[in-house]
Amino acid sequence: MSGVAQAKVTDKDIVNDQATPGDVVSYGLGPRGQRFSPIDTMNTKNVKKLAPVWAFSFGGEKQRGQESQPLVQDGIMFVTASYSRIYAIDVATGDELWQWEARLPDGIMPCCDVINRGAALYGDLVIFGTLDAKLVALDQKTGKPVWRKTLGDYKAGYSFTAAPMIVKGKVITGISGGEFGIVGKVEARDAVTGELVWSRPTVEGHMGTLNGKDNGITGGEANKTWTGDLWKTGGAATWLGGTYDPDQDLIFMGTGNPAPWNSHLRPGDNLYSSSRLAIDPDTGKIVWHFQTTPHDGWDFDGVNELIAFDYKDRGKTVKAAATADRNGFFYVLNRENGDFIRGFPFVSGITWAKGLDKNGRPIYDEAMRPGNPADSEDGKKGKTVWAVPSFLGGKNWMPMAFSQDTGLFYVPSNEWGMDIWNEPVNYKKGAAYLGSGFTIKPIYDHIGSLKAIDPKTGEVVWEFKNNAPLWGGVLATAGNLVFTGTPEGYLYGFNAKTGEVVYKFNTGSGIVGSPITWEQDGEQYLSIVSGWGGAVPLWGGEVAKKVKDINQGGTVWTFKLPRS
């Protein structure tokens, strides 16, 4: 392997990932997911010297959306690609060391393109998930499989696209499939062997397990916030994965929409859908929860990352966590107990709710809930409403960043709305379970909006408007820099304090991946995956016309700031 000796990745390496500039061994540049690098070598004055040193193509005819975040350790990059592929690359040269591709069955049913968001490193293994809902551990040196485990039945609609997370020697996974009436869950496996330690379903009424034995029903009882048997096909998929706060020793995992989308079929809050869950990593017990959209009728989900951060309030340190929800509101919670601290809109013109109450619960405008088909003359279509934001969200999966220097969150957001209506639907295994129709439409001349947000006040300190929707992750650095990519193919660098564009490079295809940075041999590197796709061209309605001419791709671009 180019003469490089691979050191085994430890739990300590992962917990300290944010503070070690020589590698990136976890998704989010550390378990908290702040995506902040302490490297200040590159700054607003010298960033214009940042230049590409190599570009690695994933090759073949299989392109589509490339939403991956690379990992780098001991001079080797590990990066996943569409169609459940993974590559090892020599960072010094851009040469491929090995590649591995899953043999996918014909019947996979991914909701939102054939993407993969990244891998996890532990010991001498690299671990990632596949579209047929399997988890695979490969030897870092050879790329040969060491173990394989099944996460769910792909024929029932289960799939897997997230980056796994390592917490205390366990690999933590969620599951995708919320559009198919699956039951969401969070699971922990021994990272060395792949053996299941605990499983925690995320729909109220289902039994959890610990070490092969029953470990309590989620929520305590069935039917409490669900009607009839709907909890058995309740959705609440954990499709984005989670973050981990070592201070509180808690996993933060978001859950997706309740199933079906038609909310009139399932009265009640429908726990624990559209929520953030704090989970004990040793037992899988839910310690606290916060539901952003109770009785979700718009597919707003609650999966977006919850990022732990501290701030000062009247001289005291507040242990907080923040999330920018699909529903258009930004929430700041007490991460010790889940209590609501504050919340505010981060996109304009929200129609479905009038605001948040003192506990952070939305104040619904019931006239803006899609109508009940049973109230229509023929029973086939309920009243159409104009909902802002659209179901693709004020912010979707694309991770935001938090700068420890500026105290700001950098949120990749979108300004759009939708006509949405409800229809009758019945559950059938492996079939779409929506009961809704929709058309997404732009609101302004632009859709994408990168916003620098002060979590203490809700102030938008600066905003960068982009013609096409933003669908890629964000990186902040101690060099007063913020990086992200656009569907138009540009890697942008911004002044973190002012929003001034200080760097711009065209990668040749739309960017929907997440950038990373690290130091090697005294030089600062930056990498991002380019390759257009994801949910927008598949689900985007009128908005999809804005991006119909963007070319697909599949390339890892790696840049370096030269010593001179």
One of 17, 132, 299, 325 is an active-site residue; which one? 299
Q: How far apart are CA 563 and CA 41, in angstroms?
A: 10
Rounded Cα distance, 456 and 49, in Å: 35
Q: Residue 59: what pLDDT?
A: 83
Distance between CA atoms of residues 536 and 517, nearest Å: 27
Which residue, 20, 8, 1, 66, is CA-closest to 556?
Answer: 66
Q: Taking the CA of residue 398 as centre, how many other CA atoms within 13 Å lie in the half-sphere pointing to its CB?
A: 36
For residues 170 and 393, give the distance between their C-alpha atoms in angstroms, rounded to a whole number. 31
Q: For residue 299, indicate whether it is catalytic.
A: yes
Q: What angle do CA 541, 546, 552 make, to 5 degrees?
A: 100
Whose structure tokens read 């919340």? 343
Report CA torsion sign: 15, 246, 79, 393: negative
State the 10-residue block means of pLDDT for the chain, 564 residues long. 68 97 97 98 97 93 89 97 96 97 89 91 98 97 98 94 98 95 97 98 97 94 88 96 98 97 96 98 98 98 98 95 98 98 98 98 96 93 97 97 98 97 94 93 94 98 97 98 97 98 97 97 96 84 81 94 84
Q: What is the pLDDT of residue 3?
A: 43
117 annotated as a binding-site residue: yes
Q: Does the annotation flag 179 for ligand binding?
A: yes
Q: Torsion angle of alpha carbons 145, 164, 293, 455, nearest 10°?
A: -160
SS (H, E, C) 171-207: EEECCECHHHCCECEEEEEECCCCCEEEEEECCCCCE
Kindly report whether the global pTM for this prediction surpasses the value 0.95. yes
The predicted pLDDT at position 108 comes to 86
Report whether 211 belongs to an annotated binding site: no
Flag whether 257 is marked binding.
yes
Residue written as tokens 């399932």? 266
67 assigned to a ligand binding site: yes
Determine the pLDDT at residue 5: 55
> Would you say 161 is a known binding-site residue?
yes
325 is in an annotated binding site: no
Q: Is 16 annotated as a binding residue?
A: no
pLDDT at 343: 98
Which residues is 210 bridged to in the sheet? 198, 213
Structural domain spans, the chain:
11-560
- What architecture does CATH give domain 11-560? 8 Propeller (2.140)
Chain-centre distance for alpha carbon 407 = 21
SS (H, E, C) 437-458: EEEEEECCCCCEEEEEECCCCC
**Residue 49 main-chain phi, psi, to 5 deg:** -85, -5
